[in-house]
Amino acid sequence: MIEIKNAVKYFEGNCAVNHVSLEIPEGILFGLLGTNGAGKSTLLRMMAGILKADEGEILFDGKSGYENPECKAEVCYLPDSPYYFPNAGLKEMARFYEAQYPKLEYESVRYMADMLNLDVDLPLRTFSKGMKRQAFLILALCAGTKYLLCDEVFDGLDPVVTEAVKSLFRREIKERKFTVAVASHKLQDLEDICGSIAILHKGGLVRAGDMRKKAENIWKIQCVFRETGAVEKLKEKLEVLRGYQDGYFVTLLVKGRLEEIQSEIWKLGPVFSGEMPMTLEEVFLAEMEETGYDIRKVLQ
């Protein structure tokens, strides 16, 4: 388990990570969501032991990873733009990683590279952005570490490869309790794979955890009324987090018991009323608006 306890990081007087506390359980894919400058990459770098926390601590299975090679041998970090030696190919990088991560086997790298049609001998500098990312994902997955920290991992990957990578993650998570922390500024990237998500904004943690669980008593309801003004009437009686009206068509995000909500809606005599499934984004919107936070500032 990764425990982030009250982590703080300042850059030249600016607070990049502001008292963030998180727990990332084992065997899940955890998403770190936020706009540019929210502090997700800084938090990932702190977790990877690259940056030292000015306050607080980050523990992997109870041990600090900073300047602790034994602990870091179980953590692999994949940055937004991975570094590789000049003129080095995947083969050479794999040999280097092999020396750093004892569980890495070159043959597995070669096998996965063949699957993704990557030439291990070609210099990485000749690869496209997506190919480089695939190459480093192969290294990261083959490193055999317990934890993988990825920054904007799906950026630059085409939909087919994105799906392939996601299924690889799922397989590894299932097979060996692999824990992946992924930072992204796109909610769509994480929607179908992340069990838990943390939202960062201006260095602070806005929300974290399994959002669907947290949104268990929030409902998305779509109705059609014969007259306008239904939203205002419902707001008086129900805890409406968000309500849109487009002519006679109304979409509501309401908190409460479903039966009570439906009963109040039917009292207004709608032509149609039905519960709709919520996207992760809507779950967030609901969660955030419940706390009075302007989520548009966080999600772009």
Partner 1 sequence: MISVKYYSNWIKEAGRGHLTAFFCWGGFLSYTVFSLLQLGADTEYTFFGVGSSGLLKLCMGLGLLLAAAEYFYLLQPAKLDFYYSLPVRRGTVFWCRYLHGLIHFFMPFILSMCTCALYESSVEKRFLTEAGAYTVRSLLIFGTVFLLFYHMGIFVIAASGRVVSAMGLLAVLLFSGQVVFQCICAVYGKRLFDTFYRVPLWERLQELLIPYKLSGKLAGDGIYEMRKVWEYVPGKGICLAAVFWILLLLGGNFLMQKKRKTEAAGRMFAFYQVERAVVFFVSVLAALSAGSVVLSVSKMSVQGGESGMWKPALALGISALVAGALVHFLQQRLFRIPGVRNKKRFLQLAAEEAAACIVIGSFLLAAPQFDAFLPEKKQVEAVGICVSGLDMGWQEYKTLARGEDNYTAEEKMKQYRFEADGLEAGIEWIYKLRERNERETAEDYTFVTVCYFMKNGQEIYRAYPVDRESFHAFSAVYESTEYKERAYPAVLKEEASEERFTWSDGALEQILRLSDEEKEALLTDYKKDIGELKMADLEGIYPCGMLMMESQVKGKITKAYIYPSFVNTCRSLKMAGIEPDRDILDYPAESVIEREALEGIYKPGSALRCTSPEEIEALRGRFVSQEFDVQTLLCPFEYSKEAEVMIEDPESGAVKKIDCYERIR
Give residues in contact with partner 1 (CB under 8 A): 11-14, 45, 48-52, 67, 69-73, 75-77, 79, 81-83, 85, 96, 99-101
Contact 183, 40 (CB under 8 A): yes
Q: Which helix (H) or strand (E) holds 251?
A: strand 249-255
Q: In the complex, what is the shortest distance from the CB of residue 132 to partner 1, in angstroms, rounded to a whole number?
A: 13
- Kindly tell me the sign of the dihedral angle through the C-alpha atoms of 84, 87, 88, 89: positive
How many angstroms separate the CA atoms of 57 and 79, rounded?
21
Question: Would you say 75 or 206 has its CB closer to partner 1?
Answer: 75
Question: Would you say 11 or 249 has its CB closer to partner 1?
Answer: 11
Question: Would you say 88 or 161 has its CB closer to partner 1?
Answer: 88
Q: In the complex, what is the shortest distance from the CB of residue 60 to partner 1, in angstroms, rounded to a whole number?
A: 11
Question: Would you say 50 or 299 has its CB closer to partner 1?
Answer: 50
Q: In the complex, what is the shortest distance from the CB of residue 104 to partner 1, in angstroms, rounded to a whole number?
A: 11
Q: In the complex, what is the shortest distance from the CB of residue 72 to partner 1, in angstroms, rounded to a whole number?
A: 4
Q: In the complex, what is the shortest distance from the CB of residue 74 to partner 1, in angstroms, rounded to a whole number?
A: 8
φ, ψ of residue 122 to 5 degrees: the values are -70, 140
Contact 222, 251 (CB under 8 A): yes
Question: Would you say 96 or 293 has its CB closer to partner 1?
Answer: 96
Question: Would you say 42 or 273 has its CB closer to partner 1?
Answer: 42
How many angstroms separate the CA atoms of 150 and 41, rounded?
9
Question: Would you say 71 or 112 has its CB closer to partner 1?
Answer: 71
Q: In the complex, what is the shortest distance from the CB of residue 78 to partner 1, in angstroms, rounded to a whole number?
A: 9
Residue located via tokens 């506390």: 21
Q: Which helix (H) or strand (E) holds 59?
A: strand 55-60
> In the chain, which ranges are continuous DSSP H helix?
40-47, 69-72, 90-100, 106-115, 129-142, 159-176, 187-191, 211-214, 230-237, 258-267, 280-290
Q: How far is CA 69 from the centre of its chain?
A: 26
Contact 218, 279 (CB under 8 A): no
CB atoms within 10 A of CB 126: 11
Q: In the complex, what is the shortest distance from the CB of residue 44 to partner 1, in angstroms, rounded to a whole number?
A: 10
Helix-then-strand count for the chain, H and E: 11, 14
Question: Would you say 124 or 218 has its CB closer to partner 1?
Answer: 124
Residue located via tokens 């992924």: 182
Q: In the complex, what is the shortest distance from the CB of residue 234 to partner 1, in angstroms, rounded to a whole number?
A: 49
